[in-house]
Homo-oligomer: A and B are copies of this chain.
Amino acid sequence: MMKAYIKQISNIVLAGMGDSKHWIVMDSDEEFGGKSAACKPLELVLIGLGGCTGMDVISILKKMRSPIDDFEISIEAERAEEHPQVFTKIRLEYHFFGKSIDAQKIEKAIELSKTKYCSVSNMLKKSVSIEYAYRINPIRDWTR
């Protein structure tokens, strides 16, 4: 059993806390009475999706003794125009950085997250199609 608690802070601004005991503040756009001073609830779902599959992939690559120097995921989500404006398509693009990265192991790790481990994607996929892609980059160069 997981528990979470949501508390009104001020007007539309809410704080939420789960079992790990860390507060997350949520706000909305000015259009809905907020000030955009924190994440929106729907953003948390996308970030939770990326975090869930990202931790899977990092953890699986460690078990495979397949080191990476750095890692990120770009996520794009299309939404329905009509309420409740659910996601209609999500695209996850994993970026791996390192000079000796094994594409086969990367593919295996993403596949295991997608089919077996990722709680969030395995719930969302019943209502939205999720596409997976990846890129391998030899170096992380912040000057580019």
Seen from chain A, the residues whose Cβ lies within 8 Å of a Cβ on chain B are: 1-8, 11-12, 14, 16-20, 22, 24, 26-28, 32-33, 36-52, 54-55, 58-59, 62, 70-79, 83-87, 116-124, 126-128
Given A55-B32, A123-B128, A4-B43 contact (CB < 8 Å):
yes
The answer to whether B33 touches A84 (Cβ under 8 A) is: no
Which chain B residues border A46 with CB–CB below 8 Å? 2, 4, 16, 18
List 16 extra interface pairs beyond A4-B50, A22-B37, A124-B124, CB under 8 A: A4-B46, A4-B77, A6-B54, A8-B71, A12-B59, A16-B50, A19-B40, A24-B39, A24-B44, A26-B48, A44-B47, A45-B123, A83-B117, A85-B119, A86-B123, A87-B123
Given the complex of chains A and B, what is the CA–CA distance between A116 and B111 in angstroms?
A: 34
The answer to whether B116 touches A84 (Cβ under 8 A) is: yes
Main secondary structure, interface of A, reads mixed
